[in-house]
Amino acid sequence: MATLRFNAIKKTLDRKPVEINEVERRSELFGKNVFSKSAMRQYLTSDSYKSVINAIDKGDKIERQLADHISTGMKEWAISKGATHYTHWFQPLTGSTAEKHDAFFETVDENSAIEKFSGQQLVQQEPDASSLPHGGIRNTFEARGYTAWDPTSPAFIWGTTLCIPTIFIAYTAEALDYKTPLLKSISVLDKAATDVVRYFDKKVNKVTATLGWEQEYFLIDSALAASRPDLMISGRTLLGHSPAKGQQLHDHYFGSIPSRALNYMRDLEHECLLLGIPAKTRHNEVAPNQFELAPIFEEVNLAVDHNSLLMHVMEKVAERHNFVVLFHEKPFKGINGSGKHNNWSLATDTGSNLLSPGKTPTKNLSFLTFFVNTIKAVYENEEILRATIASASNDHRLGAGEAPPAIISVFIGSQLTQVLDELEKVTDGKLSPQEKTDLKLNVVGKIPEILLDNTDRNRTSPFAFTGNKFELRAVGSTANCADPMTVLNSIVAKQLIEFKQEVDGLISSKKMKKDDAIFNVLRDYIKKSSKIRFEGDGYGKAWEEEAKGRGLSNYRNTPEALQSKISQKAIDLFSDLSIMNETEIKARFDIEIEDYSKHIQIEGRLIGDIARNHVIPTVIKYQNVLIKNVKGLKEIYGKDFKDQAKEQMNIIEAISKHIAHINKNIDQMIDARKKANHTEDPVKRAHLYCDEVKPYFEDIRYHCDKLELLVDDELWPLTKYRELLFTK
């Protein structure tokens, strides 16, 4: 009997929801473990407080001496909350977070010690991080890397450790993390957007990009997950026949949340709130055991940190509830995958959302300016945006018969399509006073404050306007949002800079009025970018054909898609804006292409091992049972035994055939892997893994899954789909 599987099922069935204690109100919990503005006011001198606030708001440098005061205040606050250690907390290019804890502790002499945390320790550290990915940057120059405090993301306490968000850079200042380019893109975008918004509102001095992510995930009982080596190691099932019932009855989405999962969520939200992550929404997703958590949106740098932190916290809290969290984009074949929608917008320091229509024609012209510029930016750089969401695991979602597709397009809804159609008709050159009045009254002025049309919105578009924000839906559930957000900020910044130049050019050379110039440039942009707009159903052959005709890219796998990351266009984009230089861009590409090959390599080894060590021995055992049965029948029935033993003999033969196919495919896959491994060029290697190794997975799986249906359930060692998905 398949002991591990049945023990796991029994354990799962015996579990009770883990009791949790919700005593405090959520509003009171919020930010309790964050060194927030109010904590700073309490623990810092007014000079230190001011210098941190100026660093946050204006990017001012913090003086050494004040840094000592700040670190002391931060330490006192942290110790009052029970912290014993501190760490610089950063996001290296592994995709997860990194930390190294040091105690607030220093000896004075052999008998006494004090708690110490200096300004230097707060501001900069030199972790030995030679094992973190660097894409060759630190090999060529220096092995050292630095972490440096990012005051725009507040320090927080997790467990008994004070965590200080930092950037991570090489000795030679190249970025080795996700945060550094993100912060640069934020400030470039701020400048570009502020310059443009001041056409409409002189009171604005700062524009902030905002992000509200929606994190999808699966929860699987830890005992069940432990019985599946594929899940434990690769985060997805490489084998498993689909269950009789999947998600076809749509009875899970928004359904009542199972009680064990609900208690997990309550516990998780408690931790989130303490850490200042404004968790707001929880619900069941489309697939069984699939859920979503969404917070209130925040400034993009903070939101990115919060998402990285959340993923870590989710795993920790899951341990208490005997769950394993699956972040993989496609843990189960034939079952809905997971994504991480990135809702993005622009907010001014005067409290206005630049992507939200308003009450006045001026506000709406401002709205249209940012709206059209964003669409144009996406049109001009669709392949760079596509590259940023490419990964081995997201390949199972994008373009693999599941929304969103691998083609980037923009959905805006019928109301705004109408508005853009009207604007396209604007006169070339100076506008007559009548035309202008008409535009303001009947086109710009008629945009409803709330865009009802979008409530009934298209669900398959990878980049959709949803009333007051754009929603990039193609980001994978395992991804760090920093990379797509850096790209989005950068392309929109570049676009806004060009827009400003064009409008100013028309004003000065053609002596146009400001509004005339804006209408002219917008008309031009709407025309130029119309190919990226698509209101239809975002996947399927028809759209692929149409998109091809429109000249839109359609990269179906990561090695192909990643290439756009190192195109001259991408290098120019990031280096012109001083967000990343060529070395940094290429280093990131090298890491990602290598990461792709490693992923497929690991999955290839796993599926080979599981098929050979779990599946084949099991089916041979069952085949022996059948053989014994056939022999027995022969003993009883003599030469007529075949009438009685026909079905058993068919199964015996079928098993042998499947075993032969599996073995042949594994051998061939191993040869293909060897060929890939012996290929020096990492790009060629990734393509070999994609085109030559990966296709074997499906063949091997097909025969294993057929065997799962043939063999005695009692013997099958791998927990089945129905058990993984429906045991609550």
Q: Which stretch binds ligand ADP (CB under 6 A): 119-127, 205-213, 325-333, 647-655?
A: 205-213
Q: Does 284 bind ligand ADP (CB under 6 A)?
A: no
3-class DSSP state of 331: coil
Which residue type occupies 323?
Answer: F
The reply to whether 382 sits near ligand ADP by the rule CB under 6 A is: no
* Helix axes of 414-424 and 361-380: crossing angle, nearest 10 degrees: 90
Closest CA to 696 of 675, 673, 666, 676: 666
Number of residues lying near ligand ADP (CB under 6 A): 16
CB of 230 to ligand ADP, least distance (A): 30
3-class secondary structure, 102: strand
CB atoms < 10 A from the CB of 641, how many? Answer: 17
What is the enclosing helix (H) or strand (E) of 274? helix 259-274
CB of 459 to ligand ADP, least distance (A): 9
Name the residue nearer to ligand ADP (CB basis): 187 or 353. 353
Looking only at the bridges linking them, the beta strands covering 290-295 and 298-299 are unpaired
Contact set for ligand ADP, span 546-565 (CB under 6 A):
none
Quick one: which of 71, 70, 278, 33 has its CA closest to 158?
33
- Which DSSP category does 551 fall into? T
Candidates 209-217, 412-420, 638-646, 699-707: pick the segment binding ligand ADP (CB under 6 A).
209-217
Strand 323-326 and strand 207-221: the pairing is antiparallel
**717 touches which of ligand ADP, Mg ion, none (CB within 5 to 8 A by kind)?**
none
Pick what 466 binds: Mg ion, ligand ADP, none; C-beta below 5 to 8 Å, kind-dependent.
ligand ADP
Please give the Cα distance from 615 to 426 (Å, whole number).
Answer: 68
CA distances (Å), origin 465, targets 258, 485, 523, 667: 33, 16, 19, 49
Q: Which of residues 341-360 bind Mg ion (CB under 5 A)?
A: 341
Report which of 687, 700, 692, 702 is spatially closest to residue 672, judged by C-alpha positions: 692
Nearest residue (CB) to ligand ADP, 49 versus 370: 370
The yes or no reply on residue 294 touching ligand ADP (CB under 6 A) is yes
Q: Give me the least distance between CB of 123 and Mg ion, in Å please.
A: 38
Contacts of residue 445, Cβ cutoff 8 Å, sequence gap at least 6: 361, 364
Q: Can you tell me the distance from the alpha carbon of 353 to that of 209, in angstroms, rounded to the nearest whole number?
A: 10
Chain-centroid distance of CA 299 in Å reads: 17
Closest distance between ligand ADP and the C-beta of residue 471, in Å? 6
Taken as a whole, the chain contains a residue count of 728
Coil, strand or helix: which one is 511?
coil
Q: Binding pattern to ligand ADP, positions 210-249, x when CB under 6 A?
A: xxx-x-----------------------------------
Identify residues 552-611 at the interface with Mg ion (CB under 5 A). none
178 binds, among Mg ion, ligand ADP, none (CB under 5 to 8 A by kind): none
Could you say whether residue 341 binds ligand ADP (CB under 6 A)? yes
Minimum distance between the CB of residue 473 and Mg ion, rounded to whole angstroms? 6
> Residue 294: which of ligand ADP, Mg ion, none does it interact with, CB under 5 to 8 A by kind?
ligand ADP
Least Å from the CB of residue 303 to ligand ADP: 8
| Maximum pairwise Cα distance, the chain | 106
> Cα 720 vs. chain centroid, distance in angstroms?
28
**What are the residues facing 213 on neighbouring strands?**
342
Neighbour-count burial of 366, counting CB atoms closer than 10 A to its CB (0-12 exposed, 13-18 middle, 19+ buried)? buried
For position 353 contacting ligand ADP by CB under 6 A, the verdict is yes
**212 versus 484: smaller Cβ distance to ligand ADP:** 212
With binding defined as CB under 6 A, does residue 297 bind ligand ADP? yes
Closest approach of Mg ion to the CB of residue 343, in Å: 7
Q: Which of residues 204-243 bind Mg ion (CB under 5 A)?
A: 214
Residues 6+ apart with CB under 8 A from 488: 209, 342, 344, 377, 385, 472
Q: Which does 440 bind (CB under 5 to 8 A by kind): Mg ion, ligand ADP, none?
A: none
Nearer to ligand ADP, 13 or 296 (CB): 296
* 3 state SS of 268: helix
Applying CB under 6 A, which part among 463-471, 581-589, 660-668, 712-720 lies near ligand ADP?
Answer: 463-471
- Quote the CA–CA distance of 9 and 266 in Å, as a whole number: 25
Residues 283-342 that bind Mg ion (CB under 5 A): 341
Residue nearest to Mg ion (CB): 341
48 interacts with ligand ADP by CB under 6 A:
no
Which helix (H) or strand (E) segment holds residue 125: the answer is strand 124-125
Q: Is 468 an interacting residue with respect to ligand ADP (CB under 6 A)?
A: yes
Identify what 345 binds: Mg ion, ligand ADP, none; CB under 5 to 8 Å per kind.
ligand ADP
Report the residue number, 190 or 214, with the smaller CB distance to Mg ion: 214
Query: What residues have CB less than 8 Å from 97, skipping those under 6 apart?
Result: 89, 90, 91, 308, 309, 312
Q: Does 340 bind ligand ADP (CB under 6 A)?
A: no
By C-beta, is 49 or 344 nearer to ligand ADP?
Answer: 344
Establish if 70 lies at the interface with ligand ADP (CB under 6 A).
no
Q: Where do contacts with ligand ADP occur on this chain (CB under 6 A)?
A: 210-212, 214, 294-297, 341, 343-345, 353, 466, 468-469
Q: Where do contacts with Mg ion occur on this chain (CB under 5 A)?
A: 214, 341
